[in-house]
Structure 1
């Protein structure tokens, strides 16, 4: 770990989110999937190493989504980092999917958001997600219904 790389993360400043203080410089995990973000990466071991290295370099906020590789980036994050360090913010989002490679559509019906939250809990192997966000506003669903579902308590789960 070089001092120069650490300085960049620490110079980004911090903010409080989900009860944790995290650096503004985070890591977007979308490209841990294949190049079209459609499935698993060609070199899964490398994606696992990249996720681990990000945390080694001081990253404490990794953003991913259920739609990235159909959940594969959440699985890679779990494989690389579970059990998660206390300082790492667990963040993911739902409300968007692909109908074919690189063709994204909003999908934020409340029952879909709840289902994707359940899937994310399982893939990340947590009983609580620190930050669960709406990926995109779905123009076909009343905004209050989308946000209302995100504000509703997360399902209670026991880890298996």
Structure 2
């Protein structure tokens, strides 16, 4: 049977199926999406359903997603883990600027602390490595914040296997990686192997292939979904939970109905033949 929980960093037990907040903001993760009360309701329902890992970022909005998390969930109940990200600055719905200078990382982390209304962030993820700043300086800044008690654990986002190995050589504070990975896109398989070898959590982004579970994959998904009385998306999430014990998908949505559907995927159990059929989808074209 697959494990339903994972000890993030060895000391923060979370349910493996979490919730991501990007879809609470507008197109391009810019500005608000819909009514604020609806977003608050989705966040609260996720926690009511047993979600214990909330994944957000300072540039979703920017700032809006973190503010919604605090509005909906603060004061945070015991056992609820909030993960956020810093290291990217937004200037429009299509402009993303990597910023890894130590003083800027510190400022971004402290701004996230204020928006989240907390004294310490459970998991602070470096949203992108800045190629213009030595990795040691970027991670050193986060280690300093950790020593000050403002960060509990550090994570990386969108990195190669080699970069993960380099980061682990620089600091023992790394507990997670967040890369694109899903049923159809397994380009980060080597990163996943490193995570498994070192006991790091892997939070796959676009766990539902950004809604592109169509084409040749649809027939295989429909075959499994039909037998289980599930949707394509539920099968895709269940596959992630079965594929590796360190995978912690955090699908996002602004819809209560879609939230319920996603979270119900945790109850699905795939047998060997179903897993074999789904594993074979790795050779199909990856949606853009």
Which TM-score tier does this pair reach, normalised by the shorter chain? 0.7 to 0.9
Q: Does the 8 Å contact 2:27/2:93 carry over to 1?
A: no
- Is 1:100 aligned to 2:92, yes or no? yes
2:15 is matched with 23
Distance 1:98 1:64 in 2: 15
**Aligned ranges for residues 110-149 of structure 1 at < 5 Å?**
110-149=102-141
- Is 1:65 aligned to 2:57, yes or no? yes
CA shift for structure 1 position 32: 1.1
CA shift for structure 1 position 156: 6.4
Structure 2: state its 5+ residue gaps: 151-288
Find runs of 4+ consecutive structure 1 residues off by over 6 angstroms.
none
**Higher helix content, 1 or 2:** 2
- Within the candidate set 31, 46, 52, 1:39 is matched to 31
Distance 2:63 2:101 in 1: 18
Q: Does the 8 Å contact 1:52/1:81 carry over to 2?
A: yes
Structure 1: state its 5+ residue gaps: 1-10
1:13 is matched with 4
1:82 is matched with 74
Distance 1:41 1:12 in 2: 34
Distance 1:68 1:41 in 2: 11
Partner deviation per Cα, 1:20-76 (whole Å, 9 max, x = no partner): 100221111111112221122231111111111111111100110111101110100
Q: How many residues align?
A: 148
Q: CA RMSD in A?
A: 1.9
- The SS at the match of 2:28 is coil
TM, length-normalised to structure 1: 0.85
Partner deviation per Cα, 1:116-137 (whole Å, 9 max, x = no partner): 1111111110111111110111
- The SS at the match of 1:47 is helix
Partner deviation per Cα, 1:84-135 (whole Å, 9 max, x = no partner): 1111002111011223213322111111110011111111101111111101
- The SS at the match of 2:84 is strand
Which protein has the larger Cα radius of gyration, Structure 1 or Structure 2?
A: 2
- Is 1:50 aligned to 2:42, yes or no? yes
TM, length-normalised to structure 2: 0.48
